[in-house]
Amino acid sequence: MIWHILILFAELVAANDQDLIERLRRRDPDAMSDLYDRYSRVVYSIILRIVRNASVAEELVQESFLRAWNRGSDFDASRGRIGPWLLTIARNRAIDYLRSTAGQQQATTFELVSSERVTLFVNTEDRMLDQEQARRIRAAFSQLNENQRQVLELAYFEGLSQSEMAEKLGQPLGTIKTWVRTALTTLRGTFHAA
Amino acid sequence: MPLENLDPQDRDILYELFALGLLEPDQMAEVRRLLESGDPETIAGLRKASLLTSSLAYIAPESKPPAALRRRLMLASGVKERGMGWTWILGLAATCVALITIAFNMNQDVQRREAQIAELRTQLDSSQKLVAQSKDLYDFLRQPSTLTVKFGDGQPTPPRGQVFINRERGVLLFAGNLPAMPQGKIFEMWFVPKGGGAPIPAGLFRGENGQGIHFRPGAVDPALIAAIAVTLEPEAGSTTPTMPILIAAPVQVE
C-alpha cells in the first residue's frame, strides 16, 4: 500500500517536472521563477563548494540558470528530469571557472559541455524524486572509505584528472585509478540498489 | 583499449569518468564520437552515469543563496519577478473588505439576537407574572372562607358573573356580557356599604370581548358591604359612580 502511494507521489512529482519543462520550452516567465525556487539552493551550494567564493558563486549560479533558461527549448522530453541536467550545468560552469583561472580552459570546456547534452537527461525511465536522489547519494557516499571519498571529492569538486590527483596526493597513478574505480563501483551499487 | 572490448563494469566507469570530465583525451574523443553518432548503448550508459554523477551535488554543504540573487537573475533573464507587485495590495484590500463585511454581518446578527433575547425575556417575565397571578387567584378561590356572589343569572343581555370575597385577601370579580368600552372610558368597581353610605372606589379594569376580570387586593369585611357594583367611568376613574350601574351584586353574609 505504502509503495503504491510513494509511486503515485513520484509520478505526481515527475508530472510536475514535465510541466516545468514544458513551460520552460514555452518560455513561460513563471517557469524561470519555479526553476529557481526549486533548485537555487543546491545549485548555489555546489558552486560555492567548488569556487569557494560567494560573489563568484552568485555569478555562476546566474549563468547556470540563464543557460538552462536559454536552452530549455531543447529539452524536448516526454520523460526526463531537469534537476540532474541543471546540476550538471552548474558543476560544469564552476569547474570551467576553476580551470580558466588555472589557464586550462580551451580543451576542457568542450569536454564538459559534452557531459551536459540534453540527450543525456531526456527519455529516461528515472522517476526519482530530488529528495530521494539526495538521500541515496549521501547514504552511498557514507559507505566509502577516506581515500575513496577524497578522490571523488577531488574529481567532482575540483575537477582534477586522475594524473592531477596522483600528483596532489603523492600516490602512484595506478593507486588513484583503483581508488576511483572502487569508489565509483561502490557508489553506483549502493545508489541504484537503495 | 577499444570500447567494444570493455566489460560492462568498465564501461559504466568509463561513462562516469566521461560525465565527470576525467577521461584521458583519446577516450574522451571516442565516447564523444559514439554519443554524437547516437549509439544507443553509449547514450543509455551515459544517462545512467549522469544521474549518478550529478547526484554528487547533494554532498556539498548546504548554503542559502542571497535573496538579491533571485532578483538579479530575473532581471537578467528578462522575466518579470513574480510575487508582490500590486497583487498583494489588491489581495489585502479584498481580505479587509471580506473581514469588514463578516464583522458587520456578525454585529447585525448579534444585535438581532440580543433583541430576540430581550423580547423573549419580556415574554418570560409576563408569563411568570401571569403564572404567579393565576396561582394567587387559585389560592384565593380554593380557600373555604371565600364568599361567592352570583349576579345577572338568567338574563342574557345585562352583565352577569361572579364575585368572590375573602376577608383577608380581597375581592375578585368575573364579569360577562359587559358593554363595549367607549373611547376614553373604563370600568370601575365599587363597594356599596351597608347603611346607605357613599360607594367606595375599588379599582379600575378593562373589558375585552364583553369579558372582564378584576381583583382588588386587601382585607375587606363582607359584613359591611351591601353590594359590589360596576360602572363605566372616565379613564382616570371617579370618586362617585356615574349612572347607570352596570352590575350590582348584593352581598349576603350568612
Measured at the CA of B248, the angle between CA B244 and CA B249, to 5 degrees, comes to 170
Strand partners, A37: none
> What is the rounded distance in angstroms from the CA atom of residue B179 to the CA atom of residue B208?
9
Residue of A61, A90, A124 with shortest CB distance to B47: A124
Contact: B35, A108; criterion CB under 8 Å: no
Residue type, B71: R
For the cut 70, the answer to whether the pLDDT of residue B159 exceeds it is yes
pLDDT at A119: 67
Highest mean pLDDT, choosing among A78-82, A147-151, B72-76, B216-220: A147-151
CA distance A8 to chain B (A): 21
The answer to whether the CB of B75 falls within 8 A of the CB of B44 is no
State whether residue A14 sits within 8 Å of chain B by CB.
no
Q: Least CB-CB distance to A120: which of B50, B74, B79?
A: B50
Contact by Cβ (8 Å): B174, B189: no
- The kind and range of the H/E element at A147 are helix A146-158
Is residue B187 very low, low, confident or very high in pLDDT (cuts 50, 70, 90)?
very high
Closest chain B C-alpha to A33 CA, distance in angstroms? 7
CB-closest option in B22, B47, B60 to A155: B22
Rounded to a whole number of angstroms, the CA Rg of chain A reads 18
User: What type of residue is A173?
Assistant: L
What residues of chain B, 220 to 249, have a C-beta less than 8 Å from chain A? Answer: none
Q: Which residues from chain B sit within 8 angstroms of residue A54, using beta carbons?
A: 66
Q: Using CA atoms in the order A180, A139, A120, A106, what is the torsion angle rounded to 10 degrees?
A: -40
For B58, nearest residue in chain A (alpha carbons): A134
Which of A36-50, A112-126, A132-146, B60-74 has the weakest average pLDDT?
Answer: A112-126
pLDDT at position A7 is: 46
pLDDT for position A172: 96
Check CB contact under 8 Å for B47 and A45: no
Q: What is the mean pLDDT of residues B154-161?
A: 72
Quick check: B18 and A114 CB within 8 A?
Answer: yes
Contacts of A38 in chain B (CB under 8 A): none
* pLDDT given for residue A71 in this prediction: 82
The ipTM assigned to this model is 0.82
Q: Are B184 and B235 in contact (CB under 8 A)?
A: yes
pLDDT confidence of B204, banded at 50, 70, 90?
Answer: very high
Residues of A in contact with B57 (CB under 8 A): 42-43, 45-46, 87, 90-91
Closest CA to B238 of B208, B210, B203: B203
For residue B53, which residues of chain A lie inside 8 Å, CB to CB?
88, 115, 156
Q: How far is A100 from chain B (nearest CA, A)?
A: 15
Q: pLDDT by residue (tens digit) across B236-252?
A: 888 889 888 888 888 88
Cell reading at B25: 583525451
Chain A residues lying within 8 Å of B12, measured CB to CB: 184-185, 188
Q: Is B30 on the interface with A (CB under 8 A)?
A: no
- Nearest-CA neighbor of A71 among A118, A108, A30, A31? A118
What is the spatial distance between Cα A136 and Cα B2, in angstroms, rounded to a whole number?
33
Rounded distance between C-alpha atoms, residue A87 and residue A109, angstroms: 16
Query: Does A84 contact B56 at a Cβ distance shorter than 8 Å?
Result: no
Q: How many CB pairs under 8 A join A and B?
A: 160
Q: Which of A10-19, A161-170, B127-136, B245-254 has the largest mean confidence? A: A161-170
Q: At what angle do helices B25-36 and B8-20 cross, to 10 degrees?
A: 100
